[in-house]
Structure 1
């Protein structure tokens, strides 16, 4: 099979168009959870508290196009940033492709079903305990959870 005939998600990330890059997202919403960094160790801890713009049902940003003006520290994921980011979950499509690994079998580009990420329990649907607007910064450590950094058993 020639490189040109491969599906876009199997091609190098550097060759993707903006549209292809956007479609690669699996819609899990894990990157939209608030993360805390241990000042001493540098370890990243994920919480079950979501960005105020995350739609808890769809697990997508409710104001994606204007998110940077509403949430200034929201990060636009780029290929250059992928090399530096340590907090993307192991199931993240961008992370997997950056590591030259295939998409998981539940990914919507393979199944044709945008709900497959929810059906296998990868997404944050039903797992968000609060929005960032509902939790004081000092209370965030009470919401630290391990699941955002791991593969659910059904999702492997």
Structure 2
């Protein structure tokens, strides 16, 4: 993906138009939508699909206590896309769960998908993202803050 080539420094953003000048219009449109920031082609594909659906998609967002997260959707939902090659060791498995927990402890929402799920089951991935974004944010008048839900230790 062009996004990944831009992020890796293999292509300069200013050269993308020239590189695709003789390509078909559909390829030029894809090139024009390219942005640096993705660490993988699957992240690029996810960004492009979600952006096309009208979402604000930020890439490689720094989250205190967590580090960089692949994507943040509409400023509300953190999204991680995992390829098996980089997330298959026991250490990586544990690290990913620690990151998920750190995001949750911050009170933020997060989803984690495999690259295979993004590539082969996009409808389910997209529906999951849309559903999470429909859930209202927890506010101070949430039922969870009602007296009957408060800790007896409080």
Same fold, TM exceeding 0.5?
no
- Structure having greater relative contact order (Cα 8 Å, sep ≥ 6): 1
Bigger Rg, structure 1 or 2: 2
TM-score range, shorter chain: under 0.3
Name the TM-score, length of structure 1 as normaliser.
0.24
Q: Which has the higher strand share?
A: 2
Name the TM-score, length of structure 2 as normaliser.
0.25
